[in-house]
Amino acid sequence: MSVKMKTAVAASLSGVLALTACSAAGGSSSEDQLSIVGFSVLESANEPIFEGFEQTDAGKDVTFKTSYGASGDQSRAIEGGLDADYVHLSLEPDMTRLVDAGLVSEDWKENDTNGIVTSSVVSFVVREGNPENIQAWDDLVKPGVEIITPNPASSGSAKWNILASWAHVVGAGGSDAEAEAFVTKLLQNTISLPPSAREATTAFSEGNGDVLISYENEAILARENGEPFDYIVPDDTLLIENPAAVLEDASDAAQDYFDYVLTPEAQADYATFGFRPVVDGVELPEVEGANDPSDPFPTPGTLYTIDDDFGGWADANTRFFDEEEGIITKLQAKTGTEG
Amino acid sequence: MTSVPLDTRTRPTRTRRPGHGARPANNLTRGAGLALGISVTWFSILVLIPLTAIVVTAAGGGWDAYVTTLTNSQTFAALTLTVGQSLLVTAINVVIGTVIAWVLVRDSFFGKRALDVIIDVPFALPTIVAGLVLLGLYGKGSPLGVDWANTEMAVFLALAFVTLPFVVRTVQPVLEELEHDVEEAAASLGAGRLTVFRRIILPSLVPAIAAGAALSFARAISEYGSLVLLSGNLPFRTEVVSVRVVTFIEGGNTAAAAAVASVMLAVALFVIVALDIVQRRVARRG
């Protein structure tokens, strides 16, 4: 090997070593700093919760480090090594991934709220004044109604929407075949399947579509931000449940924070951002973006849940969203090819 | 002046194909050795290792994973749509991009310098912003009276927007270096304008056009950001490959995602090599 070639090899190696050294120098954490990882909407909703926690005895020396993004992305990031003490995701399968990775305890659901810390309901967002007079699920499948809903295949949280439409038929005593027919009509009226809820809202606010299937909290937040939308909570809808957990290797402060999130004060703060409380005894504030700010969360006539009506997420995910055999996957393919 | 040797001009000398004569196995100076070391390290960290990882992940699923993934009709539809629209957009870029480069180099008009700067905007603009702007302009309620949102036209539009600068920017410098003398010489020897363009100018531009086309195609098949709002991602109709890949990742199926990605790598490689061959043919024929 010539001297010159050796120079080349030596330069390569020293470059690699330098990079290794850089990565080894990173990563240290202080005892009182909590890493909070959550799904996108929480970015603004968590601020008052942090302030409230810092005023408690347990929280007075705690500082927060935060990371927000799409629920699935956040879950994968933690699995891939993102530092986290407390994690708040939009649906259970994203938490299950962390349980499978050994990062969250198997018994994360064993508390008074079944591991759930915020909730909402599937709702319809419509143009101001509701020109198409959308009131119920059956109005969505009328000819010519243009629907936007995030893609259930690329956005985990969009699965709530599709499952709600299924529950609308089956919950009222309909057969699976009738439910499939209904969802098919719904998909035929769907003009856009943006990858996430946030992008679906953006596409809708740009003038696309007559109705956006979304979550009550998203609708309330959009209205608080000045979007000229109305929203309708259908008389029968699905309860959206967002789980949270403390990671296995987190400090005690993380558990204190988790306990604080379930206090009536913290739940009232979440309510101002449109989330329905998950504990009793919450004194509801005025919710500016709600249809009726003084009675922001009217109880729907029938409220389906993933556990009671679908046998839990594990079953529902396989049955409806399996990449090859899922009911919704197949219906999407069918409506797409017949399009 | 008429004695300018035409031949040396019309055949751009290419350094990529050195002669087959006796050449030392390596002729690196100390400085060159250092530069090579840095290049290889940097290139490995950013490109070679990640690409290998993709191929390894894809192969990890075995042959079955490939077959299942690629015979899935929805994935196949996304592949055809993406490759088809990318080829179309590239073909159009080859023509329009060359024309724009020509106008920018050879003509002088009001606003030329501004246009020259603005050409690069599609590079600089975050693609999601581009998608949003295109949606506002060409979607429902368009001030131009069209509604291309959620159609194949939307896919074409977004790809054309993000790939516009490539051919312009590769052709422009070559056109600037091209000497008028040669064209004048050809003209004075009796060549018509078309002949001058075809025999003198085009052969010099072909390598640049091919390079721009390759970049343009590679960019188009991987586009995601500008499409997600505009195209509607409707399965079998407007869903592109990158959205399909996101779907696989969300579903936890990284092997399928990697399989689709490696197929796209192969498609890109095939097109780039094909363009290189075309370019050599044309350049040699003159």
- Domain membership of residue A153 (yes or no) is yes
Is the torsion defined by CA of A31, A259, A269, A159 positive or negative? positive
Same-domain check for residues A306 and A167: yes
Residue B286's pLDDT is what? 54
Which residue carries 């879950």 as its tokens?
Answer: A75
Q: Is B140 left (phi over 0), alpha (psi -120 to 50) or beta?
A: beta
Identify which of A313, A297, A182, A185 has the alpha carbon closest to the alpha carbon of residue A241.
A313
Those residues with Cβ within 8 angstroms of residue A110's Cβ, 6 or more apart along the chain or in another chain: none
Q: Which two three-digit tokens encode residue A272?
A: 């101002």
**Which of A292-301, B60-69, B72-81 is the least confident region?**
B60-69
Chain A: nearest CA to B259, how far in angstroms?
Answer: 15
pLDDT higher than threshold 70 for residue A202:
yes
Compute the average pLDDT of residues A20-46.
70
Look up the domain containing A226 and give its range: 120-239+297-335
Residue B22's pLDDT is what? 53
Residue A5's pLDDT is what? 55
Residue B161's pLDDT is what? 94
- What ranges do the domains of chain B cover? 29-60, 73-285
d(CA A116, CA A128): 33
8 Å CB contact of B150 and A208: yes
Interface of A with B in 99-158 (CB under 8 A): 151, 153-156
User: CB contact, 8 Å: B158 with chain A?
Assistant: no
Q: Is B236 left (phi over 0), alpha (psi -120 to 50) or beta?
A: left
Residue A47's pLDDT is what? 95
B182-to-A57, B14, B39, B166, B191 alpha-carbon distances in Å: 85, 19, 38, 27, 11
* pLDDT (tens digit per residue) in A85-128: 999 999 999 999 999 999 999 999 999 999 999 999 999 999 99
User: CB contact, 8 Å: A2 with chain B?
Assistant: yes
Q: Which two three-digit tokens encode residue B265?
A: 């790598």
Residue A98's pLDDT is what? 96
8 Å CB contact of A195 and B246: yes
Same-domain check for residues A229 and A179: yes
Chain B: nearest CA to A124, how far in angstroms?
Answer: 19
8 Å CB contact of B37 and A7: yes
Confidence of residue A50 (pLDDT cuts 50, 70, 90): very high
Residue A24's pLDDT is what? 40
Chain B: nearest CA to A206, how far in angstroms?
Answer: 6
Compute the average pLDDT of residues A286-291.
92
On chain B, the residues whose CB falls within 8 A of the CB of A209 are: 140
Same-domain check for residues A183 and A132: yes
- Domain membership of residue A107 (yes or no) is yes
Residue B25's pLDDT is what? 64
On chain B, the residues whose CB falls within 8 A of the CB of A159 are: none
User: Contact, B247 vs B77, CB < 8 A?
Assistant: no
Residue A279's pLDDT is what? 95
Residue A28's pLDDT is what? 38
Same-domain check for residues A39 and A168: no
Same-domain check for residues A83 and A202: no
Residue B12's pLDDT is what? 46
Confidence of residue B70 (pLDDT cuts 50, 70, 90): confident
Helix (H) or strand (E) holding A270: helix A264-272
Chain B: nearest CA to A64, how far in angstroms?
Answer: 28
Same-domain check for residues A311 and A204: yes
The half-sphere exposure of B192 on its side-chain side, counting CA atoms within 13 A, is 2
Smallest Cβ–Cβ distance between A333 and the set B68, B235, B256 belongs to B235
Best residue of A39, A151, A204 to probe chain B, by most B CBs closer than 10 Å: A151
Compute the average pLDDT of residues B86-115.
93
Buried b (16+ CB within 10 A) or exposed e, A256-282: bbbebbbbebbbbbbbbbbbbbbeeeb
Q: Which two three-digit tokens encode residue A248?
A: 């296995």
User: Contact, A85 vs A251, CB < 8 A?
Assistant: yes
Choose the CATH number for B73-285 among 3.40.50.720, 1.20.1050.10, 1.10.3720.10, 3.40.50.2000: 1.10.3720.10
Helix (H) or strand (E) holding A194: none
pLDDT higher than threshold 70 for residue B9:
no
pLDDT higher than threshold 80 for residue B243:
yes
Question: Residue A73: which CATH number?
Answer: 3.40.190.10
Best residue of A1, A2, A3, A4 to probe chain B, by most B CBs closer than 10 Å: A4
* pLDDT (tens digit per residue) in B176-188: 998 888 888 888 8
User: CB contact, 8 Å: A339 with chain B?
Assistant: yes
Q: Which two three-digit tokens encode residue A256?
A: 């204190």
Same-domain check for residues A112 and A132: no
Confidence of residue A266 (pLDDT cuts 50, 70, 90): very high
pLDDT higher than threshold 80 for residue A169:
yes
Same-domain check for residues A172 and A306: yes
What is the overall mean pLDDT for chain A?
89
Those residues with Cβ within 8 angstroms of residue A59's Cβ, 6 or more apart along the chain or in another chain: A53, A253, A256, A257, A260
pLDDT higher than threshold 50 for residue B78:
yes
Report the percentage of chain B scoring pLDDT > 70.
90
The overall longest dimension of chain B from CA atoms, in Å, is: 69
- Domain membership of residue A204 (yes or no) is yes
**Structural domains counted in chain A:** 2
Residue A12's pLDDT is what? 57
8 Å CB contact of B256 and A72: no
- Domain membership of residue A281 (yes or no) is no
Q: A252, exposed or middle or buried, with CB in 10 Å at 0-12, 13-18, 19+?
A: exposed
d(CA B215, CA B268): 9
Strand A147-148 to strand A86-88: parallel, antiparallel, or no bridges (unpaired)?
unpaired
d(CA A105, CA A246): 8
Same-domain check for residues A129 and A210: yes
Smallest Cβ–Cβ distance between A194 and the set B29, B68, B233 belongs to B233
d(CA A309, CA B45): 50
8 Å CB contact of B140 and A207: yes
8 Å CB contact of A15 and B42: yes
- At A262, the amino acid letter reads L
| ipTM of the complex, rounded to two decimals | 0.76
User: Contact, A145 vs A134, CB < 8 A?
Assistant: yes
Helix (H) or strand (E) holding A302: strand A302-304
- Domain membership of residue A192 (yes or no) is yes
Confidence of residue A42 (pLDDT cuts 50, 70, 90): very high
Q: CA triplet B239, B242, B248: central angle to 5 degrees?
A: 90
On chain B, the residues whose CB falls within 8 A of the CB of A195 are: 228, 233, 243, 246
Confidence of residue A278 (pLDDT cuts 50, 70, 90): very high
Those residues with Cβ within 8 angstroms of residue A104's Cβ, 6 or more apart along the chain or in another chain: A87, A95, A98, A245, A246, A247, A248
- Domain membership of residue A277 (yes or no) is no
d(CA A331, CA A24): 49
Interface of B with A in 86-145 (CB under 8 A): 132, 135-136, 139-141
- At A240, the amino acid letter reads I
8 Å CB contact of B232 and A192: yes
User: Contact, A69 vs A39, CB < 8 A?
Assistant: yes
Same-domain check for residues A151 and A230: yes
pLDDT higher than threshold 80 for residue A259:
yes
Smallest Cβ–Cβ distance between B247 and the set A2, A154, A335 belongs to A154
On chain B, the residues whose CB falls within 8 A of the CB of A207 are: 136, 139-141
Between residues A320 and A3, which one has the greater pLDDT? A320
On chain B, the residues whose CB falls within 8 A of the CB of A100 are: none
* pLDDT (tens digit per residue) in B260-269: 999 999 999 9
Which residue carries 């929280």 as its tokens?
Answer: A59
